[in-house]
Structures are given as C-alpha cells and as structure tokens.
C-alpha cells in the first residue's frame, strides 16, 4: 500500500513538473505574441510615415497643367499612391492568410460560405496558403467550391485573399 501511494505521488509530482513547464512555455509564447503585436504596430507606423512621404513627394513632382482644378489632380495622386503603398503593405503583412481576415470576416464567411464550419474554412485557407498564384485559387473556388463569383460574400472573400498575391 505504501509503495502504491509513493508511485501515485511520483506520478503527480511528474505531472506537476510538466504542468509548470507548460505554464512557463505558455508565458513565453504570450510574451512573444505581445512582442509580435508591438512589432506589427511599429511596422504599420513606419508604413504610414512612408505613405505620407510618398504622397508629399508625388504632390511635389506633379506638374499641374490645369490651374483651375489643381486639388483634383493632387487628390488623384494622393489616392493612387496610398492605394499602391497599401496594397504592397497588405501583401507583406498577411503572410499567414488566416490572419488577413478580421474576426467579423471570419464569422461572416464561415457562416455564409462554409456552412458554419470553421474546420472547412481553415482547410480551404490552408490550401490557399500553399498556392503560388491567384489563378489557381480562382479556379479552385469556381470548380471545386462551386461558389457564385458574383455573390458579394465571395467577392469580399476573394478581395481579402488577393491581397496576399
């Protein structure tokens, strides 16, 4: 009886050590996540500064031929530069395709496109993650998933996926 109690204590002690190690690993992971979020925030700030610099630079380089409507031309340049920089940034920041979707988007697409299945959505996103071009993804959406490419949900979903390619 004494040996069985001793073996139970040994098992509990070992489990407690494993738990403490897991707890420590989890804390390290949380610290890493926090640092990653901070790094992403700094990257976004840097990108915003670059965006403003490019807009100012583009405005300075614009030769305004029509003096009657200079603000229209400057606004068009500002929008074009912002869109181009934003697209490049979105592609670089969305390395993990599932991270490109907001929580609301995930729930919406899960409900509207994947029949409420988070597993199916994750499976499709993992498949897309491994694809190298957008054409293959569009073919998969059209032929395998058989989605209506004119549906607003599908259009919105594809728009988010396209940012990665």
- Per-residue pLDDT of 25-44, as tens digits, reads 767 777 777 777 777 777 77
Specify the pLDDT at position 150: 93
68 has a pLDDT exceeding 70: no
- Contact criterion met (CB below 8 Å) for 64 and 73: yes
What gap in Å lies between CA 95 and CA 83, rounded to an integer?
19
Specify the pLDDT at position 82: 52
> What is the per-residue pLDDT across 78-109, written as a single tens digit (0 to 9) for each?
555 555 555 555 555 445 788 888 899 999 99
More confident of the two residues 73 and 161: 161
- Contact criterion met (CB below 8 Å) for 112 and 147: no
145 has a pLDDT exceeding 90: yes
> What is the per-residue pLDDT across 107-132, written as a single tens digit (0 to 9) for each?
999 999 999 999 999 999 989 888 87
Question: Angle of helix 118-130 relative to helix 103-113, nearest 10 degrees?
Answer: 100
Specify the pLDDT at position 144: 93
Specify the pLDDT at position 93: 47
DSSP for 4-54, written as a single string: HHHHHHHHHHHHHHHHHHHHHHHHHHHHHHHHHHHHHHHHHHHHHHHHHHH
Q: Mean pLDDT, the chain, as a whole number?
A: 75
**Residues 6 or more apart from 147 whose CB is under 8 A from it?**
113, 141, 154
Q: How far from 25 is each of 22, 65, 70, CA to CA, in Å?
A: 5, 63, 58
Specify the pLDDT at position 61: 53
Closest CA to 161 of 111, 113, 98: 98
**Highest mean pLDDT pick, 15-29, 91-105, 148-162:** 148-162
More confident of the two residues 72 and 133: 133
């Amino acid at each position: 009886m004494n040996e069985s109690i001793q073996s139970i204590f040994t098992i509990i002690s070992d489990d407690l050590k494993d738990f403490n190690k897991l707890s420590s690993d989890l804390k390290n992971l949380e610290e890493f996540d926090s640092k990653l979020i901070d790094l992403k925030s700094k990257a976004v700030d840097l990108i915003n500064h670059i965006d403003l610099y490019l807009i100012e630079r583009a405005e300075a380089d614009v030769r305004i031929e029509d003096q009657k409507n200079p603000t229209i031309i400057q606004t068009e340049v500002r929008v074009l530069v912002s869109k181009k920089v934003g697209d490049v940034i979105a592609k670089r920041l969305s390395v993990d395709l599932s991270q490109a979707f907001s929580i609301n988007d995930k729930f919406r697409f899960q409900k509207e496109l994947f029949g409420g299945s988070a597993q199916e959505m994750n499976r499709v996103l993992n498949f897309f993650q491994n694809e190298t071009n957008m054409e293959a993804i569009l073919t998969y959406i059209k032929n395998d998933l058989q989605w209506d490419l004119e549906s607003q949900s599908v259009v919105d979903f594809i728009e988010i996926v396209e940012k990665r390619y």
